[in-house]
Structures are given as C-alpha cells and as structure tokens.
Amino acid sequence: MEKIATREAYGKALAQLGEERADVVVLDADLAKSTKTIDFAKRFPERFFDMGVAEANMVGTAAGFAAAGKIPFCSTFAVFAAGRAFDQIRQSVANTRLNVKIAATHAGLTVGEDGSSHQSVEDIALMRSLPNMTVFVPADAVEVYGAVRAAVNINGPVYIRLGRSAVPILHDQGFSFTPGKAVKLRSGNDAAVIACGIMVAEA
C-alpha cells in the first residue's frame, strides 16, 4: 500500500492552490522544509513570509493579512501552533472570526525522534474549544487535498492537523471531502470504531 505523509500532501496542495488563488499567502515559522511550505515558497516567493521562530507574531501577522482581504495559511509544528500561539489564535483569529488557516504539522506522538517536547497531544482539544474554529484531521494524502480546498472556501478560521510520518493512502482519487461528514470505510455488526488522522489506518 502506497504511503505519503500528510505534511507532504499539504505542501503540494498548497502550491496548487497558489496557482489558482492570487489571494492566498503563506506564513511559516522557520520550518518551511519540515512543514513543506517550501513548495509554495519556491513558486511564489512574493507571497511567502518566513516569520522566524515567532509563532505568536506569525498568527498576528496572518490576522492582519486576513483583515486586508488575503487568505493566509500559517504553518509550524502543532505543539507550537496550538500551544505557543494559543492566545493570539483565540483573541486575534477565533474571536474575531478572521479568515486565517492554520496548518500544523508533526502532530501527535509520531514525532518520537523529536522528543516529548514536540509531541502535541492536546492541540485538537485546544482548537476545538475556540469559537468559530473548524478543525480538520485528514487521514491520508487524498483527504489533505480535500481539506485544503475546503479550508480556502470556508470564510473563517480553520485548523488542519497534519503528521510527520508517511501513512497509507486509504481513498481513491475520486474521493469527495465533505466537512462535518463521517466516512464509513468498513461495515460490521460487532462494534463501532471511530478514528481520525493517522489512527484511521490503524483502526
């Protein structure tokens, strides 16, 4: 079974989106090679902003872009996006319902190589607690493409949770991503198993 990291798919989807939408800008916190926003940066350097190791400033800048009519995608590791910049997301993005998209990579426990300081296990709980915030946790590369396209069409804040490691592709290319809709992958009569993100393949 083919495997692709959801962060890899994000980079490609974002670069495609840049071809179609001149109002999309991308901000990163000095992690473009890891978050894969480097794909967008190479193609559209005039719309890419490396904010350095300053996640709170990145989110505040993104709020300014959104207030000026742009559609900013912010990227960093999930532990920094949801943790370090939580106050700025809460006050400057969620409460004001600004059109900021936060795509956080290296989420969950699978970043074992980076140590426990980088293992974000609370980011979904933090983001879903915010007003006006839509949360997407794609299970594979195909869902990532759908999530990025859905995010740009939602007028308001969106959090997209992405992983570091390669995961199996579960859907064919004809899959239609619908926000808020569960997808049944297998039928049975003994139990209901519900999962999101990288745990879908495991489940």
Q: 23: how many CB neighbours lie within 10 A of its CB?
A: 13
The pLDDT profile of the chain, 203 residues, written as one tens digit per residue, is: 799 999 999 999 999 999 999 999 999 999 999 999 999 999 999 999 999 999 999 999 999 999 999 999 999 999 999 999 999 999 999 999 999 999 999 999 887 777 788 889 999 999 999 999 999 999 999 999 999 999 999 999 999 999 999 999 999 988 999 999 999 999 999 999 999 998 999 99
Residue boundaries of the structural domains of the chain: 3-202
Query: What does the radius of gyration of the chain's CA atoms come to, in whole angstroms?
Result: 16
In whole angstroms, give the CA distance from residue 159 to residue 137.
8
Number of helices and strands in the chain (H, E): 9, 8
The end-to-end CA distance of the chain, in Å, is 16
Bridge pairing between strands 48-50 and 158-161:
unpaired
Active-site residues, by number, are 55
Structure tokens at 1: 């079974």
Bridge pairing between strands 134-136 and 158-161:
parallel
What CATH number belongs to 3-202? 3.40.50.970
In whole angstroms, give the CA distance from residue 50 to residue 27.
6
Which is nearest to 170 in space by CA: 197, 146, 126, 139?
139
CA angle 78, 160, 123 (to 5 degrees): 40
How many residues in the chain? 203
Strand ranges (E), 123-202: 134-136, 158-161, 166-168
Q: What is the pLDDT of residues 105-118, one digit of tens each?
A: 999 988 777 778 88
Q: Do 123 and 83 meet the contact criterion of CB atoms below 8 Å apart? A: yes
Q: What is the pLDDT of residues 75-112, one digit of tens each?
A: 999 999 999 999 999 999 999 999 999 999 999 988 77
